[in-house]
Chain A
Amino acid sequence: MSTTHRQPAGASQPAEGGPADLPPNRVDPEVLDREQTRWTPLRIALWVGIALLGGVAWVMIAFARGESVNAIWFVFAAVCSYFIAYRFYAKFIEVKLARPDDRRATPAEYHANGKDFLPTDRRVLYGHHFAAIAGAGPLVGPVLAAQMGYLPGTIWIIVGVILAGAVQDYLVLFFSMRRGGRSLGQMAREELGVVGGYAAIVATLAIMVIIVAILALVVVNSLGESPWGVFSVGMTIPIALFMGVYLRYLRPGKVMEISVIGFVLLMAAIVGGGWVADTELGAQLFTLDRVTLAWCVIGYGFVAAVLPVWLLLSPRDYLSTFMKVGTIVLLAAAIVVVRPEITVPAVSEFASRTDGPAFTGSLFPFLFVTIACGALSGFHALIASGTTPKMIEKERQARFIGYGGMLMESFVAIMALVAAVSIDRGIYFAMNASPAATMGTVEGAAAFVNSLGLSGVHVTPELLQGTADAVGEESIVSRTGGAPTLAVGLSHIMHQWFGGPSMMSFWYHFAIMFEALFILTAVDAGTRVARFMLTDTLGNFFPRFRDVNWRAGAWLTTAIMVAGWGSILILGVTDPLGGINTFFPLFGIANQLLAAIALAVCLAIAANLGRARYLWIILIPLAFDVVVTVTGSWHKIFSADPKVGYWASHTAFKDALAQGKTSFGTAKSVEAMEAVVRNTFVQGTLSILFVVLTIIVVVVAAVHTVKAVRGKRRATHEDPFVESRFYAPSGLVATPSEKALARQWEALPLEQRTPTGGGHH
């Protein structure tokens, strides 16, 4: 039952601060502004201090030409930049562009239904939003980008989040909140019309498919030939089933209790994995090749998406959230306590080359698509619209949740980068070069890495084998995808804090476990969301699909989505060119193109609001993002270098086949060559599809924007104004007047002070 209390048009409103029978529903903006932004000597000293510390940290990272730089400077540079950006730039965006109004009720208040429309404490919502947006993405991208040295990645992660990623998240959240929590697709249709709207929906679906596929590829690569990893990650399924049954039948609602139990079982599964992998039977049973594992993930994805959510999906989600918050805190503490020395060069040899082993292509544009999550991630727009805006209590909180939440994800990306650059460069390249280059052996890997001609890099087969033994793996050669590298980096840092070298194998598998957990949660939730998007869209043509209880329809649409990402996953694991290094750019480009769509929708909305003077806030990230992704797509489609261009590679292998060659480049057989021809065709076609759809959306948005700026505004799609009957402070820490007002409200009986209160039902 939904509770709404829309005010009749023209209803008289109290002149000051809301309903007459209640305390004011906002702090007077002038008073608040004075409290938040007035310069006192203490504040001046504080901000000068933050600026100085941040400045020194940046100098240490960028210009120190000593032997090494301490990881703590990365933390200071990032955190000080975030504080300054949040206090000044985000505040500027709030005042000039968003202009929140706390008198206005949020959807959580006027649509409250006790389920998804649920006003939630801002600090809790911050954690909830963060857990929904952050996953394995910010952990993987920076690791791959580390091949170009730490500086390009660090600059992009920090500057990118401030000017692009956090701006996108904040504005999408804000505009969706003003529109009853509508999804990005719905907003695109309303704001951009039929063509732009459908292009946005199709692009979103296609992009979700590719993102799920590449995430699954990362998991498969990290678990292939690793009995320990397969056992412990596989155990998450029975653990989740147990948790599901516990919550459904044994003790409903005891979510925290079962999450703690699940966590303990998870740790036991990691430790037990070591024992199992040591036994002959265990090693035999759980050593799976990547193709088999890919089929397992596909089967899992389908089953998880059609089973009732209480059985597998939601308990997994509890476990994943529990681990997410825990591990991030642990990782941050470890970096601060251990303070590893970073010895890799700030800018590596590969920054000016296009043939890097971890990912191919030049620094511009490919560094900016390799690091998507953490700097700018379009996928967030799907959470920032639709999910979080239905829970936000007050309009002013959007800055803390949206902008602040993304800053936290950026910090996770910085920590992942630090972990990746804290390990030996030789090991890094041995792990991230494709099996075709290293032959999959320690000797081959050592020979390959030493032949790269990198300064100060000399690996021996013994070093590589020793590292593998230390982390409890058969081999670490060509463990591409970023997750194993991060796991080695994390175990390298963590063992210096807890447990010494004997704990390295535990920490390695702990890291593999949480990455797999995040990714598999994203895979099953993503499949379900995509399935519902598909049924929604199909429902426009075949109304039967709208019936959520129609099992055959649910199975069919799930199968379509799973077949979509599953086929790309299979192509990825069987790719003779190495898989991740050719597919990952597609992931980044897809994610950034989604960001372009989200920013384009925001641009059209802001222009329609008449904020022409401040459109540059959106235009800067949108223009940069479009240039990066279109250039990236251009390279991938038109580059004549077969290492970069999908079609160049496609033609080269096709010609070789036509000439009757039986081996070409890294493909050693006719079947492998045919696989390359097929894969590059799929990759090339997807690149064209994504970029064309996105250009349609951006162009339509640009046309609407220009029209609006010239004075031809469309009717607004904002929900009508409803006077709020509720109050809550805006930032992490409440100001004195916010606290005083909150206390007035707390003194009222529950029936009057909660958003649903006041006798409306």
Chain B
Amino acid sequence: MAGATQEPVTGWARLGTWWRGVVGFGNGVLGADRYERYLQYHRATGSEQAPMSEREFWRDYQDWQDAHPEGRCC
């Protein structure tokens, strides 16, 4: 991070990468990264329309969830 000397930087950087990996994994498992993935999906499909805003997306997704239940096991 900023202001650190050369040696700790690599240590911190490695820790930072590791931590970002853990958070990214956690976000993925929870489904917290759905909006970012929607944006990717939107971009990749080359749609002409502007993508939904974060708020619109979550509202749309939650309403969609209402009609598409996902099982949870025992």
Contact = CB atoms under 8 A, between A and B. Distances in A.
B74 A756 contact: no
Interface string A721-761: 00000000000000000000000000000110011110111
A256 B34 CA distance: 12
Nearest to A521: B72
A131 B28 CA distance: 12
Residue of B23, B29, B35, B54 with most chain A CB atoms under a 10 A cut-off? B29
A223 B26 CA distance: 30
Interface in B17-74: 23, 25-32, 34-35, 37-38, 40-47, 54-55, 57-59, 61-74
Contacts of A528: 69
B61 to A, nearest CB: 7
A475 interface: no
Interface of B: 23, 25-32, 34-35, 37-38, 40-47, 54-55, 57-59, 61-74
A525 B28 contact: no
A121 interface: yes
Residue of B55, B64, B65 with most chain A CB atoms under a 10 A cut-off? B65
B46 A759 contact: yes
B58 A522 contact: no
Dominant secondary structure at the B interface: helix
A522 B45 contact: no
B62 A522 contact: no
Contacts of B46: 751, 757, 759, 761
B71 A309 contact: no
Residue of A131, A136, A253, A760 with most chain B CB atoms under a 10 A cut-off? A253
A419 B69 CA distance: 34
Given A256-B23, A383-B71, 19 more contacts: A3-B45, A114-B37, A114-B41, A127-B29, A133-B73, A135-B72, A248-B62, A252-B59, A255-B32, A309-B62, A309-B66, A310-B65, A314-B62, A318-B30, A380-B73, A383-B73, A525-B70, A529-B71, A750-B43
A419 B9 CA distance: 42
Interface string A569-603: 00000000000000000000001000000000000
A644 interface: no
Residue of B57, B63, B70 with most chain A CB atoms under a 10 A cut-off? B70
B27 A137 contact: no
Nearest to A321: B30
Contacts, number: 144
A321 B29 contact: yes
Dominant secondary structure at the A interface: helix
Nearest to A520: B72
Contacts of B28: 120-121, 123-124, 127-128
Interface of A: 3, 112, 114-116, 118, 120-121, 123-124, 127-128, 131-137, 211, 215, 247-248, 252-256, 259, 308-310, 314, 317-318, 320-322, 325, 373, 377, 379-380, 382-383, 386-387, 521-522, 525-526, 528-529, 531-532, 548, 591, 750-751, 754-757, 759-761
Given A317-B72, A529-B71, A252 B54 contact: yes
A116 B25 contact: no
B60 to A, nearest CB: 9
17 contacts: A118-B37, A121-B28, A124-B29, A215-B74, A247-B58, A252-B59, A253-B34, A253-B55, A256-B27, A320-B72, A382-B73, A387-B70, A522-B72, A525-B70, A529-B70, A750-B40, A755-B44
Nearest to B62: A310
